[in-house]
Copies of this chain bind each other. A is one copy, B any other.
Amino acid sequence: MEALQAEFDAARDDTAIRVVVLAAAGKQFSAGHDLKEMTAHRSDSDGGRAFFEQTFARCSRLMQSIVDWPKPVIAEVDGIATAAGCQLVASCDLAIASEQARFGVNGIDVGLFCSTPAVALTRVVSRKLAMEMLLTGEMIDAETALEFGLVNRVVPREALTQAVAEYAQAIAAKSPSAVKLGKGAVRNQAAMSLADAYEHTSRVMVENMLSADAAEGIRAFLEKRQPNWREE
């Protein structure tokens, strides 16, 4: 989590990076926290409380960093994505899965209900479906995750990297400043009343219209040519 947080923090203002793909180094996407490491801290003088507080604070900060991050984040999911690993998928802007991907919030199986993963999960999956996953600890396959709205697309394993690259390239070809403005606007308006949401996003639209990239983009469209975005 520390390494991932550091990467996000470092890349935040790097204009050469326009979109991030989160993929696993190994065969599984992520199985969440390390239960052995957690359990070892029970012998701390405070029974592990300080370590647990630090762990969940760090994890929650990481998840919110992805949502708050100015650039899109795409999860490339193969293998298992469980507990905080499933939360990571739910927290990304887009998620593309292989046919072999499997998802679960199965902490309940070891007596640890996935309460923090539920924050991300219930914001993308409808309530009854999320509750079923949280209460039973069941695993769902990629097709079911697609039906539930947890992932955007399912492709054969051998096509996964290429499919993700196409999404990333499509997004990287857009105006970086417009993407940044827009992702922030979508996030900010989410919990607002309809009136507040329209007031906020109308202000964003005006700023966006006054930007050099919108001027260039609309001109290019009217002139039937490719736009040349500013670097930042």
Question: Could you list which residues of chain A lie within 8 angstroms of chain B, going by C-beta atoms?
Answer: 35-36, 38-39, 42, 47-49, 52-53, 56-57, 59-60, 63-64, 67, 72, 93-95, 108-116, 118-119, 122-132, 134-138, 149-152, 167, 170-171, 174-175, 177-179, 181-183, 185-186, 189-191, 193-195, 197-199, 201-202, 204-206, 208-211, 213-222, 227, 229
Distance of A47 Cα from B178 Cα, bound (Å): 18
Instruction: Given A35-B222, A36-B222, check contact A108 B175 (CB 8 Å).
Output: yes
Pair B227/A110 contact, Cβ less than 8 Å: yes
Q: Which of B57, B108, B136, B202 contacts A116 (CB 8 A)?
A: B202
Pair A95/B128 contact, Cβ less than 8 Å: yes
Pair A221/B60 contact, Cβ less than 8 Å: no
**A216 to nearest B CB, angstroms?**
6
